[in-house]
Amino acid sequence: MKTATMRTTGAIKAMAVAAMLIAGAAGLGVLTPTAAMAQIKSVADVKTMLKPELPADALEITAAMKSAKVGQTITVRGNVAMSKDAFVENRSMFTLVDESTRKGCCPPSDTLPDTACDIPAQGRATVQIVDAGGRPLRAGLNGQHGLKPGAEVFVTGKVETANGTDALVLTAVSMHVPKAPLPTGFFVEKPPENAKDVSEARRAGGEGTLKAGDEVVLRGRVGGSKEPFVAGRAVFTLMGRGLKACNENPDDKCSKPWDYCCETKEDILANSVTVQVVDAKGQILRTDMKGRRGMKELSELVVVGKVASADGKAVVINATAVHAVH
């Protein structure tokens, strides 16, 4: 009974927020539109807000909830709630939830629950798309432009409501919807134990040799070329400390120190691994990695995964988890 009561209460609160927003847009003038909204007149126009690039340094919902201030423009990342009430009927509004709130919440099913599964208020935000008058569009977004329950979405928008604890409302200015989301829980906050430097793991002969099928925990930095991230794919190159990045050489003035241009291609290959994230069929996910959790060139990461291939020169890792070292 307690669980059922919590779910019902959550649903009532969510609908109450939606109702207040709609009323506010119509009469109180709280939802001030930005210049970007002037061209939004229908759901079809929402495509003009969609950006192909993944925005860097997006906040998770729980982090944004604590730091957001009314009037700020921020970028958040989350998943559309896995419930029938994730989208407000006949209004361009939806609920975005923190990834941490989804774990074990809603089992995969063709039939969605009526309301979100016990998602705490501090782990969810309301996103709205408004017209030039500051009113939410009078049309639903479910199934539009890649938006659906469970979809991963990056939203850049103006903070309309924020109290630091359990209320966050954004008016979207732009959105990025990856074609394939990363697995839930892919990024881990706690550093995995027994991580080995990539160069050490790659060392020829002895215990350091990597073989296909080996389970590994590797530590390194993103780099090895001018473009170590593959655009539109969950692939990047991780370098070991066996080689110095260009900015670690006192006399080097390289504009892209992550390319290790002072080193030979053979040495770069011998001190690196290619990291990829694949789906259940072994296909590389169609999403960017750069920008996620602040990932960029020379970011230090710990990668957990399994060796997909190793031919004595190149090594490819199928990653199952990543910890960003800050």
pLDDT tens-digit map of 175-231: 999 998 898 889 999 999 999 999 999 985 545 579 999 999 999 999 999 999 999
Closest CA to 78 of 106, 56, 59, 104: 59
- Dist. CA 239–CA 252, nearest whole Å: 19
pLDDT given for residue 33 in this prediction: 43
- Dist. CA 43–CA 131, nearest whole Å: 10
Q: Look at the domain 2-176 and name its fold.
A: OB fold (Dihydrolipoamide Acetyltransferase, E2P) (2.40.50)
Longest alpha-carbon distance in the chain: 73
* Mean residue pLDDT across the chain: 85
Domain boundaries, the chain: 2-176, 196-324
The structural architecture, per CATH, of the domain 196-324 is Beta Barrel (2.40)
In this structure, of 23-27, 31-35, 142-146, 232-236, the range with the lowest mean pLDDT score is 23-27
87 φ/ψ angles, rounded to the nearest 5 degrees: -110, 135
Q: Would you place residue 116 in the very low, low, confident or very high pLDDT band (cuts 50, 70, 90)?
A: low
pLDDT given for residue 57 in this prediction: 87
Q: Please indicate whether the domains covering 2-176 and 196-324 agree at the CATH topology level.
A: yes
Each residue's pLDDT tens digit, 260-297 = 998 999 999 999 999 999 999 999 999 999 999 999 99
- Contact yes or no for 100/187 (Cβ under 8 A): no
